[in-house]
Structure 1
């Protein structure tokens, strides 16, 4: 195993990525990645689709993604020269895999970033209804660009505080819910808050298996970004200690943030009375008569979307830096500023975000764009997660000595890699059953066709 000291750097040439992200940054980036905006805004729709069985949907997806993260962690720590999963995919599966993974992950975050900026601008309308949507989108992108250009440590600090806000909001919701259930709170015209509300309205599977399966489409998008820790590997101090700690805490965080919050919501308001179009978080605060409820949750969801967009801009620039290092992206993306930040990658990603926001003006229905964009993003993220598992299977075959020496081995590695791959194939089948997600499933192959053309052109240049 390649050993590095805390102050080691990763990259080529005189300018290299610096290990400026500390343990607390990585822990909170991991939490922020595991708690998507989908939990705050999409949980109302998932509850109405699946009822209480939605808890098992989140637990199942979380369980599978834990093994993806363990596979990623073991490979990254086997060689600290890997800057991200794109690097190890290129080495283990071949240059094509690094190219496809890196560019797909870049595109994933550009697509997710567009959805986040759209969300942020709509949340800003709550306080500034007369402010131009176009101007607020421009200001958002400019702010994130400035924050990321400064230093990697500033990015870490921003993510730290964004994640703290999300955690405080969820913990507050859980505590309020437990108190309402304990005192059997009874609002006028509403059922009494009780733990039995979870199973007395048609059981745990009130809509049968079809309802249970319908919950997957939104739930998968809620976990987008869980692999973000893998793009910070080259800028993490003491990665041998920090990365395992962040990855191992994932199951506990999913149980606490997803399962506990949804159980509390359904105990206070029976699942069949949850309004799909509204955030159950806002409803909970309204129930206790908090006049500023809408404003508070609007602020929380805004920071959640800002956190996601900020992370996306960070990770896209690092992916472009890695791709340039592999020789499958323009060498300008390999240039680092005096503060060891890949500025050209940042500028290019932000320009693409601006182009994407122009789409809103071409397609007037924002929700149509949002559903299409988020589903395409979820499908592409599943491709990246699958590549990580395939890389792990090859790593086990090619480097049994590294696996034997690893202090962070993936449990039931080979078996769970195959189980994970079958699970993602199963989710794709589920996405083909719903008309809105089927549309996205049909559009996604266009991206891979474009990538294949790009790869062929790249090969011709090199030959």
Structure 2
């Protein structure tokens, strides 16, 4: 048995119950979340209409990342995913850092989703305490994840389906309004009339890229879910091919329509929580804002559901690798690592504390805290891919799936992530990213060597 087969075998016990249809919708769900519906508002605040350029740059990095993951996942489908790849192709320390950084990132991101839901519910129930919504929705999704992986897949399938239909309906409606009621001069004024297309220059666009990366976070979930798929190779191939048009339609096209329909300063200044809702209110479509508010709640719950799943599997992988208490690697009869799920739900508690301290800044602060783990993990995926390709070339392995434009794409992705990570230090709302992330990474390294150094693969 090879070293990687040993890594795969130690993660046995999970049920392979996700079918191709569910896997495809999980991939869609990972690409449409709070980052699009709520995070885009913060990106517009920095980049103005140039937010479209921001999301194109971020989308390129995300697509290259998916290509790297698709190559490695087709060869090695396992729930440990990129953590296992880093352990095997770079060093056990790399796998340790990736798994813990990503787990912390996703656990904190769960908090961003639940605080977002609390904000969305204010639209209908302004006098109801947000604590009620945080507690209620958290309990429901924890129960769904605890029941079985099949239950998770079914719920996520319908969540994703609702989001897809909503985005398509929004795009059709927006195109109809633009072509039927808006004059070219009005569109031109919205795009270029308030400080220009890029009112804060390339600086604002680059900050928008940082937020776009958070928006795209979770597209890597398909690689983790492949460990519980009935046919992982087919699912990963389909997910990668479909990601291209999903990003173009769901992000680039919808954001382009938003900044065409409503002046960007109004999108930022409006009291509502999502630019999509602002657009519906601005064009005066009856009840459309309420319908869309329901959709963005579904999007946040879908993202939260997915993040509970993925953080649970990453902690399960850590335990099976001997890097976390053994109890977290135990699997119940229904195939769910319940102890790992309980620990991964702790992000809700963190979010509650941040929300209590300052409800107005809870969402951007949670983004900043989780951003380090996301950027570090993405950077390590690109680095691991370089090591993976070198090993494949040395062993003469013919890859069953090949990402185009290697190594240029991988190198550009890695450089982009490093540049974004450095930039966070100079932006006020992201100052917590490195302030929190670097000590956290240093602490992980110390813990790794204190507990005993493991041999490289």
Counterpart of 2:31 in structure 1 is 34
Shift of residue 374, structure 1, vs aligned partner: 0.2
Kept in 1, the 8 Å contact 2:81–2:223? The answer is: yes
Kept in 2, the 8 Å contact 1:32–1:159? The answer is: yes
Counterpart of 1:416 in structure 2 is 409
Structure 1 stretches (4+) deviating beyond 6 angstroms? none
- Structure 1: how far apart are the matches of 2:127 and 2:265? 36
Shift of residue 311, structure 1, vs aligned partner: 0.9
1:295 has 2:290 as partner:
yes
- Structure 1: how far apart are the matches of 2:179 and 2:348? 49
Counterpart of 2:169 in structure 1 is 172
Shift of residue 197, structure 1, vs aligned partner: 4.5
Cα gap change, 1:198/1:358 in structure 2, threshold over 3 Å: closer, same or farther? closer
Counterpart of 1:7 in structure 2 is none
Shift of residue 40, structure 1, vs aligned partner: 1.2
Counterpart of 1:329 in structure 2 is 324
Cα gap change, 1:280/1:129 in structure 2, threshold over 3 Å: closer, same or farther? closer
Cα gap change, 1:29/1:286 in structure 2, threshold over 3 Å: closer, same or farther? same
- Structure 2: how far apart are the matches of 1:111 and 1:403? 41
Cα gap change, 1:80/1:281 in structure 2, threshold over 3 Å: closer, same or farther? closer
Which of 89, 112, 115 matches 2:109? 112
Counterpart of 1:183 in structure 2 is 180
Counterpart of 1:142 in structure 2 is 139
**SS of equivalent to 1:410:** coil
Aligned residue pairs: how many?
448
Q: How does 1:264-283 map to 2 (within 5 A)?
A: 264-277=257-270, 278=272, 279-283=274-278
Which of 78, 81, 85 matches 2:82? 85
Shift of residue 128, structure 1, vs aligned partner: 4.0
1:425 has 2:418 as partner:
yes
Shift of residue 101, structure 1, vs aligned partner: 0.9
Q: Show CA shifts across 1:34-89 (max 9, x none).
A: 12212112323323422332212111111112111111111121133564111111
Which of 334, 338, 356 matches 1:343? 338
Counterpart of 1:5 in structure 2 is none
Kept in 1, the 8 Å contact 2:114–2:348? The answer is: no
Cα gap change, 1:403/1:261 in structure 2, threshold over 3 Å: closer, same or farther? farther
Q: Show CA shifts across 1:149-202 (max 9, x none).
A: 11111111111111122222221221111111111348xxxx975477435666
Counterpart of 1:374 in structure 2 is 367
Kept in 2, the 8 Å contact 1:78–1:402? The answer is: no
Shift of residue 298, structure 1, vs aligned partner: 2.0
Moved more, 75-84 or 337-346: 75-84
Q: Show CA shifts across 1:231-286 (max 9, x none).
A: 10111121111101101221211111111111211222243543345422112222
- Structure 2: how far apart are the matches of 1:360 and 1:206? 31
Counterpart of 1:153 in structure 2 is 150
- Structure 1: how far apart are the matches of 2:352 and 2:172? 42
Which of 353, 357, 361 matches 1:359? 353
Cα gap change, 1:77/1:46 in structure 2, threshold over 3 Å: closer, same or farther? same
**SS of equivalent to 1:18:** coil
Q: How does 1:52-71 map to 2 (within 5 A)?
A: 52-71=49-68
Cα gap change, 1:128/1:211 in structure 2, threshold over 3 Å: closer, same or farther? closer
Kept in 2, the 8 Å contact 1:184–1:193? The answer is: no
Cα gap change, 1:258/1:236 in structure 2, threshold over 3 Å: closer, same or farther? same
**SS of equivalent to 1:405:** coil
Moved more, 24-33 or 75-84: 75-84
Shift of residue 318, structure 1, vs aligned partner: 0.6
Q: Show CA shifts across 1:308-350 (max 9, x none).
A: 1111110111111111221111111221111111111111212
Shift of residue 147, structure 1, vs aligned partner: 0.3
- Structure 1: how far apart are the matches of 2:454 and 2:78? 27
- Structure 1: how far apart are the matches of 2:32 and 2:348? 25
- Structure 2: how far apart are the matches of 1:361 and 1:70? 36
Cα gap change, 1:64/1:16 in structure 2, threshold over 3 Å: closer, same or farther? same
Counterpart of 1:226 in structure 2 is 219
Kept in 1, the 8 Å contact 2:101–2:373? The answer is: yes
1:309 has 2:304 as partner:
yes
Cα gap change, 1:435/1:79 in structure 2, threshold over 3 Å: closer, same or farther? closer
Counterpart of 2:281 in structure 1 is 286
**SS of equivalent to 1:16:** coil
Cα gap change, 1:80/1:312 in structure 2, threshold over 3 Å: closer, same or farther? closer
Cα gap change, 1:183/1:308 in structure 2, threshold over 3 Å: closer, same or farther? same
Moved more, 138-147 or 353-362: 353-362
Return 5+ residue gaps in structure 2 as ranges. Answer: 3-7
Kept in 2, the 8 Å contact 1:66–1:251? The answer is: yes
Moved more, 201-210 or 222-231: 201-210
- Structure 2: how far apart are the matches of 1:44 and 1:124? 17
Kept in 1, the 8 Å contact 2:365–2:429? The answer is: yes
Kept in 1, the 8 Å contact 2:331–2:337? The answer is: yes
**SS of equivalent to 2:290:** helix
Return 5+ residue gaps in structure 1 as ranges. Answer: 3-9
